[in-house]
Amino acid sequence: MNNLSTISFPPFVLLMLCFTLSFQSSHQSHHHVISIHSLFPNCSSSKGTKKLSQSPSTLEIHQRHDLCWQPTSSSSDTTKSTQQLLEEDQSRVDTIQAKLSKKSKKQDPFQTKKITVPVQSGRSLGTGNYVVRVGFGTPKSDLSLIFDTGSDFTWIQCEPCVKACYDQQDPVFNPSNSKSYTNVTCDSQLCGPKLRSATSATPGCASSTCVYGIQYGDQSFSVGYFGVETITLGQDVFPNFYFGCGQNNQGLFGKSAGVLGLGRNSLSFVSQTATKYGNAFSYCLPAAASATGLLKFGSSNPYPRTVKFTPMLSRSDGASFYFLDLIGMSVGGYKLGISGSVFATGGTIIDSGTVITRLPPAAYEALRGAFRKAMAKYPLGKPASILDTCYDFTGYSTITIPKIGLFFRPGIEVGVDPLGVLIAASVSQVCLAFAPNGDPGDVGIYGNKQQVKLDVIYDVGNSKIGFGPGSCN
């Protein structure tokens, strides 16, 4: 089985490994040697020295710039920001799991589940988000949007911000300055079940203009006019794009101008651009705040041989999400003994906005057991929020960690990049970046931390998701 992480090794690690391999037995290749330094993101962003393919449908991905949460290298303050990131991540997961919970299908997804994180941390779309720039209107204004495979509806903050707009980096879009903006009227066919299914909220009506509302958690939402506008991606222009022109927007969306919904619903960006892009997109998420990733629309079929595919599954109760079949895991080259039914019970989605991968409790226990065994020589540190396997690496300059692999149907193995295995709060609190679900029936989530540096290909038209060695760092 080809472990993808082999390919994404930084050259110096490869060199070290080759050196080691020529003298030692091959089990060494089941480990990564990483420097402690690499676990700490460098916030002073070095601007775009990297050459990007200038294909029209390729957008640069950046980490939300307010997300440069810098872990401290001292043990004194367990950085509030890492704690906050984890709590906000849990808030997103709670929202997703409530939507997919079989027990609470008929009720409002936001009321059904007790959310366990403190209220003052806010309820957000999630903190581990990535942004891309999309042009809106005529003449066009470029806006930074959080791209989100876990939601369908695209919205931006709009003047006159009747109720409220949060602070954003770009000037707030003003539809009255655009020649191509129109409101969708309440009698439009779209202002009904279609909009409802994209937003999970019944549309309203204000002086004959259709009003949408979308909520991501208790305190994070956007409400405004349902509109049609011309949008521009590179050279590609889409004249009749349906979106939300937000008049009341609150929550932790950072300084972004809104959200680009890449779910599967008929109103999602992917569906609305399907005639051009054929329901296909891919991304490579950068591991560091200073690095640039790529979000590419359209198919790159024929795919390189290094890309391995797993079937994309559908579930009627979770129409917007991308389900796939996680069937097993490996640690340090050994496949964990986890029964397939453990993963099958709640199913698994892949999500661009959840940071930490969530596993069924039994799968997490197996992973933790094997990981702790492989890491036995390092002292444990304090748990951090949802993460219970943390190490104190004070005094170490490099560490050796076991490789982690995820197996998807029909048996492809996707390696987790070394930077996707651990998350650092401080040098004395570096944690295994996986977490258990509370309930064996909750959906598992393949999070973005474990997707870094992979090319993740959503071939929605052909119902498959592919993983290849990434084109970003």
Question: Which residues in this chain contact ligand NAG in the complex, by CB under 6 A?
Answer: 42, 44, 46, 175-176, 181, 183, 206-207, 209, 225
Whether residue 213 contacts residue 245, with contact meaning beta carbons closer than 8 Å, is answered with no
Whether residue 466 contacts residue 309, with contact meaning beta carbons closer than 8 Å, is answered with yes
Task: Specify the residue, 159 or 365, whose C-beta has the smaller distance to ligand NAG.
Answer: 159
**343 exposed, middle or buried (CB, 10 Å; 0-12, 13-18, 19+)?**
buried
Least distance from C-beta 364 to ligand NAG, angstroms? 33
Task: Specify the residue, 50 or 315, whose C-beta has the smaller distance to ligand NAG.
Answer: 50
Task: Specify the residue, 14 or 43, whose C-beta has the smaller distance to ligand NAG.
Answer: 43
Least distance from C-beta 178 to ligand NAG, angstroms? 8
What is the Cβ-side half-sphere exposure of residue 181, based on CA atoms within 13 angstroms?
Answer: 22
Q: How far apart are CA 97 and CA 344, in angstroms?
A: 15
Task: Specify the residue, 224 or 360, whose C-beta has the smaller distance to ligand NAG.
Answer: 224
Q: How far apart are CA 28 and CA 311, in angstroms?
A: 32
Q: Which of 92, 81, 166 is nearest to 123 (CA)?
A: 92
Residue 416, strand partner residues: none
Least distance from C-beta 63 to ligand NAG, angstroms? 15
CB within 8 Å of 245: residues ≥ 6 apart: 155, 156, 158, 173, 175, 181, 183, 224, 225, 226, 227, 229
Q: How far apart are CA 327 and CA 218, in angstroms?
A: 33
Q: How far apart are CA 202 and CA 399, in angstroms?
A: 52
Whether residue 352 contacts residue 89, with contact meaning beta carbons closer than 8 Å, is answered with no
Residue 144, strand partner residues: 133
Task: Specify the residue, 93 or 289, whose C-beta has the smaller distance to ligand NAG.
Answer: 289
Least distance from C-beta 228 to ligand NAG, angstroms? 10
Q: Could you say which of 89, 94, 325, 351 is catalytic? A: 351
Least distance from C-beta 469 to ligand NAG, angstroms? 25
Annotated catalytic residue 148: yes
Tell how strand 155-157 and strand 258-261 pair up.
antiparallel
Q: How far apart are CA 293 and CA 193, in angstroms?
A: 35
Task: Specify the residue, 204 or 234, whose C-beta has the smaller distance to ligand NAG.
Answer: 204
Least distance from C-beta 137 to ligand NAG, angstroms? 11
Q: Which of 261, 388, 265 is nearest to 316 (CA)?
A: 265
Count of other CB atoms within 10 angstroms of residue 366 = 20
Task: Specify the residue, 258 or 298, whose C-beta has the smaller distance to ligand NAG.
Answer: 258
Least distance from C-beta 162 to ligand NAG, angstroms? 8
Q: Which of 444, 454, 464, 449 is nearest to 338 (CA)?
A: 444
Q: Could you say which of 89, 148, 152, 459 is catalytic? A: 148
Q: If you search the block for the tokens 């300055």, which residue do you land on?
A: 177
Residues known to be catalytic:
148, 351
